Amino acid sequence: MKLKSATLRTFTTLHTWVGLVAGFALFVAFYAGAITVCHHELQVWQSPHAAGRPSQTLDDAQRLLDETLRRHPEARKHAGMLIPGDESPHSVIYWQDAKGVWQFATLDDPQGSTEPPQAALSELVNALHYSLGIPVAGTYLMGIVSLLYGVALFSGLVIHLPRLVQDLFALRPGRNLKRFWQDAHNVVGVLGLPMHLMFAVTGAMLCLLLVTMMVLNPLVYRGGLMAALPAAFDTAPVRPATQEAVRPGTLAMWHARSVEIALQQGEKGFEPAYLKLANAGDRNAVVEVTGESPGALGPLGAVALDANTGALLRTQLPGARDANHATLASAYALHFGEYGNAWVKLLYFLMGVGGAFLFYSGNLLWVESRRKRRQRQQGRAQINLARATVGVCIGLCVAVSAAFVATQWSEWLAQRRDVDVASAIGWVCFGTWGLCLLWSSTRTPVRAAQELLWLAALVTVLVPVAHGFATGWWFWKSAAAGQWGLFCIDAGALAMAFGFAALARATARRAVTGEPNSVWASGPAVS
């Protein structure tokens, strides 16, 4: 396949500028997304005693449900609950209070609080991935970025399609570092193209779903979007309360009935994970039990029951969903790797780290391709982009590792005095990120890169150290006890620390032995 030179230049320009515009946000999304793969394991890692505590039973969860409905009448209108099991060994119940603020309660804290227990770190990482940590608007921003990401992928495919095989296997180390970085960028992009296309499509779908529905409201919903939302997202029908009190069903009954119904519909491994209860204690009470079915692309399915009698109201199970629920379940599972085993999680982690490298290396290539080769002083645009790349990308790596360390320190302190763990972690993360940005703006790019990479290595190696000191779960103890989630997080941090140190050494070598007329050379004049 042969493209005209003018067409190739157009797509190259499009690929370059779309990549630059969206690259910083995508680096954050991919780096945080790689960690989000271990979302459930992070909650156990954060808690000082979660790994050693026995799993709760349905009777324990029933006591929590009864106590919450007794203490908090507003929870009777609508409440959600994590069912003890493989995904969550300890039950948590949540509801909105009279002011519309979400409350979370456990058997250890039946009065409840505004923060979910042991979820501050996983929620922070997920917020970085999903919205860059920006409330509300950040989600829509990431939806737009996902669309730009798709444009960059399409234009990159057009550029490399004529020489796809050559680009796939071309990795030429040597003195020409720009060519090596270009080869590495191409190899990662070509090998990961199917996954990246999937990430772009599902990311845009999940972030812009509500916006799309609002646009289609006059045509599809005829102005009745709000009335249509429950049927679009939930399984249980909306039934108004009758104010007639009846004896409610039990959690054990809901659990058994949902498994029985799933089995009748061909889902042999259905395992209830959480439920939503509406109008508790009322004649029109409804419960929706959601669980996982192994072997399905979108493993999450739901069974809606009459909460008092256990009568079946509606189901949305794998293989028997409507188009809307099947699309949403598949998009979520594909985006977060919720459909496979530990090897799928490892693949998603590597794709996340590889994607972050893709956008980092893309910025480096832009800087190098516009280098003034015959003069020592480089342009302001190249220097500023190099500084921004170092501050945003490497600074984020430092900030996330600092948040991990702060998590263990905050949890340890919270056992001795009243500490808002979520706020402490957030301040440490975004404060550290801001300081890294400030530092990179005052240093030459090569010095800032070396210093922040060494800092990232140091802070990241402290992650398993802080975890070991705070909880006693050193990574070798976790491995011996079969706590592979804890082991993988600590061992992964050590591997990342080694990677940051290797990059710092490579950057130092580049500063001395590379092209002298470059922003990455030692001591270049800056404008």
Task: From 101, 108, 118, select the one nearest 63 (Cα to Cα).
Answer: 108
Which position has the higher pLDDT, 224 or 81?
A: 81
Name the percent of the chain lying above pLDDT 70: 84
Same-domain pairing of 464 and 521 = yes
Q: Tell me if 212 is assigned to some domain.
A: no
Averaged pLDDT for residues 226-254: 85
Same-domain pairing of 116 and 127 = no
Same-domain pairing of 476 and 329 = no
Final residue before a domain boundary, out of 336, 358, 387: 336
Q: Tell me if 219 is assigned to some domain.
A: no
**Cα–Cα distance, 318 to 155 (Å, whole number):** 35
Which position has the higher pLDDT, 304 or 332?
A: 304
Q: Tell me if 221 is assigned to some domain.
A: no
Average pLDDT in the chain:
83
Enumerate helices (H) and strands (E) in the chain, giving the number of each.
Answer: 19, 7
Token digits of residue 398 = 């430092």
Final residue before a domain boundary, out of 313, 336, 359: 336
- The string of pLDDT tens digits covering residues 296-319 is 777 888 999 999 999 999 998 887
Same-domain pairing of 154 and 41 = yes
Let me know: does 501 contact 493? Beta carbons within 8 Å. no
Q: Between helices 380-389 and 5-36, what is the axis angle to 10°? A: 30
What is the β-pairing status of strands 286-292 and 300-306? antiparallel
Q: Is residue 400 over pLDDT 70?
A: yes
Q: What would you measure as the largest C-alpha separation in the chain, in angstroms?
A: 85
Helix (H) or strand (E) holding 273: strand 271-278
Q: Tell me if 440 is assigned to some domain.
A: yes
For 276, phi then psi, to 5°, come to -125, 125
Q: Is residue 6 over pLDDT 70?
A: no
**Cα–Cα distance, 100 to 457 (Å, whole number):** 42
Q: Tell me if 431 is assigned to some domain.
A: yes
Q: Collect contacts of 484-487 with beta carbons under 8 A, ≥24 apart.
A: 484/342, 485/38, 485/40, 485/41, 485/44, 485/45, 486/41, 486/44, 486/45, 486/51
**Cα–Cα distance, 54 to 107 (Å, whole number):** 14
Q: How far, rounded to the nearest angstrom, does the alpha carbon of residue 518 sit from its chain's CA centroid?
A: 36
Same-domain pairing of 36 and 65 = no
Task: From 105, 27, 96, 59, select the one nearest 396 (Cα to Cα).
Answer: 27
Amino acid at position 471, single letter: T
- The string of pLDDT tens digits covering residues 373-392 is 545 555 576 788 888 899 99
pTM of the full structure: 0.86
HEC profile for 169-230?
A: HCCCCCCCHHHHHHHHHHHHHHHCHHHHHHHHHHHHHHHCHHHHHHHHHHHHHCCCHHHHHH
Q: Tell me if 281 is assigned to some domain.
A: yes
Same-domain pairing of 241 and 312 = yes
Which position has the higher pLDDT, 334 or 6?
A: 334
Task: From 392, 400, 391, select the one nearest 38 (Cα to Cα).
Answer: 400
Same-domain pairing of 399 and 258 = no
Q: Which domain holds residue 357?
A: 1-47+122-207+340-369
Task: Tell me which of 134-143, 307-316, 470-479, 511-520 is least confident.
Answer: 511-520
Q: Tell me if 258 is assigned to some domain.
A: yes
Same-domain pairing of 384 and 426 = yes
What is the β-pairing status of strands 312-316 and 78-82? unpaired
Same-domain pairing of 448 and 323 = no
Given its phi and psi angles, is residue 369 left (phi above 0), alpha (psi -120 to 50 degrees) or beta? alpha
Task: Tell me which of 45-49, 273-277, 366-370 is least confident.
Answer: 366-370
**Cα–Cα distance, 498 to 501 (Å, whole number):** 5
Amino acid at position 307, single letter: A
**Bridge partners, residue 304, by sequence:** 288, 314
Q: How far, rounded to the nearest angstrom, does the alpha carbon of residue 28 sit from its chain's CA centroid?
A: 10
Same-domain pairing of 520 and 409 = yes
- The string of pLDDT tens digits covering residues 144-153 is 888 888 887 7
Q: How much is the pLDDT for 117?
A: 81
User: What is each CA distance from 475 to 116, 287, 471, in whole angstroms?
Assistant: 26, 41, 11
Sheet with 93-96, edge to edge strand ranges: 102-105, 93-96, 78-82, 271-278, 286-292, 300-306, 312-316
Q: Tell me if 442 is assigned to some domain.
A: yes
CA torsion sign for 455, 460, 466, 468 is negative
Which position has the higher pLDDT, 18 or 120?
A: 120
Question: Which of 260-264, 291-295, 410-414 tops mean pLDDT?
Answer: 260-264
Neighbours of 299 (CB within 10 A): 23
The structural domain count of the chain equals 3
Task: Tell me which of 8-17, 162-171, 499-508, 513-522 is least confident.
Answer: 162-171
Same-domain pairing of 237 and 359 = no
Q: Is residue 175 over pLDDT 70?
A: no
Neighbours of 6 (CB within 10 A): 7
Residues 6+ apart with CB under 8 A from 381: 370
Q: How much is the pLDDT for 401?
A: 97
Same-domain pairing of 196 and 275 = no
Q: How much is the pLDDT for 425?
A: 93
